Chain A
Amino acid sequence: DSGVTQTPKHLITATGQRVTLRCSPRSGDLSVYWYQQSLDQGLQFLIQYYNGEERAKGNILERFSAQQFPDLHSELNLSSLELGDSALYFCASSVMAGLSTDTQYFGPGTRLTVL
């Protein structure tokens, strides 16, 4: 158990819909990262927040957005869902702002299926 929690574990929805994935970081961690893992694209970095502020942005689509709240939990919002958005979405957390040697702890993931 990494100490990072993600809900829900599974999510099945239809194209065009909007969903929200939730992540609670480990106690004391200030950074939250979001990743998408699919068979054809591998593990892709989406976005990072540090203490409520956006720190880094990766391959995140405009239909996707995220935020980190004052209690440090984070939400990833996915809208106008397409079949290709079906994937595992991971949240990770770390203590620092993402320095090169900072350790990221990954949650168990949310499996999103878009029908």
Chain B
Amino acid sequence: TQLLEQSPQFLSIQEGENLTVYCNSSSVFSSLQWYRQEPGEGPVLLVTVVTGGEVKKLKRLTFQFGDARKDSSLHITAAQPGDTGLYLCAGPSTTSGTYKYIFGTGTRLKVLA
């Protein structure tokens, strides 16, 4: 079974600090997606990475897909209170020919003003 482990589980930082969130698996993924979820709402897609080693930037957020496509990272520069939320990585899983879509364990980020 393909699993996605995220670290850290919780992160509380001051406004203006930088941070990195990790998403790791022992299995290869054809792609990984990152979402942000705010309380009481559904997850919102931030980015999709497909190619090993790929780097994508979304304003102050930088996403990287590992060369072996088993891991990914999300780096936030100069965090702001509006970045507060639950960050989830996710990807398609095909085990024994069965297709599923799995989410990581999540990183709950709180940015203090």
A-to-B contact residues, CB < 8 Å: 2, 4, 33, 35, 42-45, 48, 55-58, 90, 92, 98, 100-101, 103-109
Contacts and interface: CB of A to CB of B under 8 A. Distances in A.
Contact of A106 (B30, B42, B92, B99): B42
Contact of A42 (B50, B100, B103): B103
B106 A56 contact: no
B98 A57 contact: yes
- Range of interface residues on B (Cβ < 8 Å): 20 to 34
Interface string B34-75: 000000111111001010000000000000000000000000
28 contacts: A2-B42, A33-B101, A35-B103, A42-B103, A43-B106, A44-B103, A45-B102, A55-B99, A56-B98, A56-B99, A56-B100, A56-B101, A57-B98, A58-B100, A58-B102, A90-B42, A100-B31, A100-B50, A100-B92, A103-B45, A104-B45, A104-B101, A106-B43, A106-B44, A108-B40, A108-B41, A109-B40, A109-B42
Contact of B48 (A48, A101, A106): A101
A42 B86 CA distance: 11
Given A43-B88, A103-B48, A98 B41 contact: no
Interface of B: 30-31, 40-45, 48, 50, 88, 90-92, 98-106
Main secondary structure of the interface of B (DSSP, over half): strand
Contacts of B48: 101, 103
B87 to A, nearest CB: 12
A82 B44 CA distance: 29
Nearest to B86: A43
Contacts of A48: 101
Contacts of B106: 42-43
A4 to B, nearest CB: 8
